[in-house]
Chains A and B, each alone.
Chain A
Amino acid sequence: MSFAVDPLLEGGIGLAEVLIVLAKTLIAFGLLLLGVILMIWFERKLISDFQNRVGPNKAGPWGLFQTLADGLKLIMKEDLIPAKADRRMFILAPFLSAVPAFVVFSVIPIGGAFDGEQTGTIRVFGHETYMQLADPPIGVLLILALSSIAVYGVMLAGWSSGSKYSLLGAVRGTAQMVSYEAALGLAVVTVVMLAGSLSTHSIVVSQSGSGYQLFGDFGIPRWNVIATGVVPFVVFLIAATAELNRPPFDLVEAEQELVGGFHTEYSSFRFALFYLAEFMNTITMSAIIVTLFLGGPAGPTYFGPGWLWGVIWFSLKLFVFLFAFVWARATLPRFRYDQLMNIGWKVMIPLALGWILLLASINIGRDEDWPMWAVVGVSFLVLVVGWGTLSLAVEQAQRRRIAALDDEEAFI
C-alpha cells in the first residue's frame, strides 16, 4: 500500500524527525490523560443524570476537578501489599493493565483532512506527517495483541493477590476476555478484508469520501459499518464492551459478588492505575470502533484548516460511543456467567465467522465475475444450514447434560 508508512519517516531520519515524533508522543500522552480525566468526570456526571442524581459538583466548576481530587486522594493513601501476595507479580500487574491502554492509542488517527484526495497529512515545520503517533503496517494486529496483554494484567492481579475474591474475579475475567477476543478478532477481519490493509491509516483512507451517492453531493459515507453490513459492527461493539469489562459485562469486578474482583486487594496508586486503565480502555476502544467502522477522522471539510475538521469529526464520533457506553451501563443489568459464555461462544463467534464467509465469497465472486445473486444465495444457504447444525448440536448437548444429571440423581 502506498500509505503504509508515515511520510515523516520516508527518506532519512534526522534530529528534526526525532523531535517531531517526541512531540507527538507527548501530545498523544497528554491528550489521552486529559481525555481520561474528562471521561471519568463525564461518566460520573452522565450516569447521575441517567439515575436522576446530580453527581460530583463540589470540586471545581460542575465538579470538573473531581477526578484530580480522587487521584490525589489515591496517591496519598497507604500502599498496601497483602502478606499472602506474590510481590513481584502483584507489583507488575497494574502496569500490564495500564501500559497497553496507553500504547493502543498511539496507532489511532485522531485528525487530519480525509476529504476527497486528501489523505490526512499535515505539515509540521516543513515535514509531512500523519496526526497519529505511529502508523505501523500491522496497526490492527498491534491493537489486538495489546488488548490480549491487558488480560494478563487482570489475570496476574487476581492470582497474585492471594485472595479468593480476587482469584474468582480474575478467573472470570480471563475466561470472558479470551472468549470475546475471538469474536472481536473475527469482526475486525471483515474490516481488514475490505480495506486490504492492517494499517489504521489506510483503513481510514479507504473509508474517506462519500461512496454511495444518494442525492447529488450528499451520500452515505463509505464507512465500514455499512460496507461490512452492520453485523460485524454490532459483534465488535458487544465484544468490545465485554473486553472492556464494562457493564453489562462487568462480571470481573461485580462489586456485589466479588468486592471489586481482581483489584480487591489493591490500594493507593496501584488501584489508581487499574482505574485509569479501565477508563483509558473505554476511550481507546471507542476510538478503535470509530477508526475501524466509522471512518475515524474522515469527513467533509468546510473552512479553516482541514486537519481541524478531522479532529472535530473524530471527537464527535468518539463522543457518541462514550455516551453509548455510559448509557448501556445505566440501563442494562449484569449478565449471568452462563449467559455470558453462551452469547460469546454460541452466538457471537459463529455469527462473526459466518459473516466472514459471506463477505469473502462475495469478494471472490466479484473478482471472478460470478453472478452475484448465485454467490449471495449459496452463501446464505450455507449459513442457514450451518446455523441449523449448530443449534442442533447445542440442543443435543443440552439434552445429554440433563440426562446425565438425572442419572446422577438416581444414585443419590
Chain B
Amino acid sequence: MGYLDGFRVTFKKLFEERLTRDYSKHTTGGKRVKPVRLHGRHVLNRYEDGMEKCIGCELCAGVCPARCIYVRGADNPPDDPVSPGERYGYIYEINYLRCIHCDLCVEACPTEAITESKLFEFSFTNRNDAIYTKAELVVDDEGLPQRLPWEDWSDLADVAPHTSAWMRATSPSGSAAYEGRVQWSGELGFGVRASEQGQSLPESEAEAGIAEADAIFSHPGEPGGHDTTHAPTGSSAGGEEGHH
C-alpha cells in the first residue's frame, strides 16, 4: 500500500508527545531553563552597602562593537556619593536596538558594575523604549533587576537572582585553572556570590593550575602590566593571556 503509507505516518503523530511548552504559563512547562552563560539584558550592579559599582570610566562604551552604550561620568558629590570612588556613571544608556549581547562590556568593566542577566524579553513598542537608561538598568534595593512593563516575570524566582552568571561561570582570565577562585566583589542583596562549578580540569592538572594561579594572585598590589616578572617559569599548564 505504498500510496497510503503516508496516512499511517501522520496518524501516528496524533499520539506523539507534544514538545511545545506553554510559554506564558509557569505551570505547564513555562519558559525554558536558561543556559548558565545566557547573555540577556544588562544590569548595573551595586555593592552590598548600596553604592553603585559603576565609576563612569566608559571602557564599556569604548569596547562595544555595536556602539550601543552611552556613558557620561561625573564627580561624586562629596556629601552624598553615588559610588565609592572618585567618579560615578552620571548617564548610562544602552540602546537595545543595537546591542548584540556580545558581553564585551562585561569583560571590559573593571568593577563588575555591568553584567548581563537572563532576562530576554525586549518587546518594547517604540524606539524610545528601546533605550534603557539608568532607571531601568541599575538594580533595585534588593539587588534584583528592575521590572519593566513588557517583561513577563512569572518565573521571577528562577531568573531574577542570576544577574551576573556569566562572570561566575567563567574563571578569571578564561583559564580553567582559576575555577573556584572568587575574584569579584559582593553584590547588593546577594553578598559575595559563589562561583559556578563544573568545568574543572582533571584533579592532577587542576592542582598544578592552582599553584600557578596562587603565584599570580599573591601579588595583588602590582599593576597589571608588571605581572610578567612574576609569571610562572617552569609550568606550561593554564593560559594567562588575559593578564597583559
- Tell me the A residues contacting B by CB distance below 8 Å: 49-54, 57, 327-328, 330-332
User: A54, B20: Cβ atoms under 8 Å?
Assistant: yes
User: A51, B13: Cβ atoms under 8 Å?
Assistant: yes
- A52 to B20, alpha carbons, bound, how many Å? 9
B11 is an interface residue with CB less than 8 A from chain A? yes
Distance (Å) between the CB of B210 and the closest chain A CB? 49
User: A327, B13: Cβ atoms under 8 Å?
Assistant: no
B79 is an interface residue with CB less than 8 A from chain A? no
Return the chain A residue nearest B15 by Cβ: A49
- A53 to B18, alpha carbons, bound, how many Å? 6
B150 is an interface residue with CB less than 8 A from chain A? no
- A51 to B7, alpha carbons, bound, how many Å? 12
Chain B residues near A57 (CB-CB < 8 A): 22
Return the chain B residue nearest A57 by Cβ: B22
User: B18, A327: Cβ atoms under 8 Å?
Assistant: no
B242 is an interface residue with CB less than 8 A from chain A? no
User: B18, A54: Cβ atoms under 8 Å?
Assistant: yes
Q: Which of B20-34 contact A (CB under 8 A)?
A: 20, 22
Chain A residues near B10 (CB-CB < 8 A): 50, 327, 330-331
User: B6, A332: Cβ atoms under 8 Å?
Assistant: yes
Chain A residues near B22 (CB-CB < 8 A): 54, 57
Return the chain A residue nearest B16 by Cβ: A52
Chain B residues near A328 (CB-CB < 8 A): 7
Return the chain B residue nearest A332 by Cβ: B6
Q: Which bracket fits the contact residues of B? A: 10 to 19
- A182 to B6, alpha carbons, bound, how many Å? 29
User: B6, A49: Cβ atoms under 8 Å?
Assistant: no
- A180 to B11, alpha carbons, bound, how many Å? 28
- A332 to B5, alpha carbons, bound, how many Å? 10
Chain A residues near B19 (CB-CB < 8 A): 52
B9 is an interface residue with CB less than 8 A from chain A? yes
Return the chain A residue nearest B5 by Cβ: A331
User: A52, B11: Cβ atoms under 8 Å?
Assistant: no
Distance (Å) between the CB of A230 and the closest chain B CB? 16
- A327 to B12, alpha carbons, bound, how many Å? 11
What would 24 A/B residue contacts be, using CB atoms closer than 8 Å? A49-B13, A49-B14, A50-B10, A50-B13, A50-B14, A51-B13, A52-B13, A52-B16, A52-B18, A52-B19, A53-B18, A53-B20, A54-B18, A54-B20, A54-B22, A57-B22, A327-B10, A328-B7, A330-B10, A331-B6, A331-B7, A331-B9, A331-B10, A332-B6
Distance (Å) between the CB of A58 and the closest chain B CB? 8
- A244 to B18, alpha carbons, bound, how many Å? 31
Distance (Å) between the CB of A44 and the closest chain B CB? 14
- A328 to B9, alpha carbons, bound, how many Å? 12
- A54 to B22, alpha carbons, bound, how many Å? 9
- A398 to B65, alpha carbons, bound, how many Å? 65
Chain A residues near B9 (CB-CB < 8 A): 331
Return the chain A residue nearest B24 by Cβ: A58
Chain B residues near A330 (CB-CB < 8 A): 10
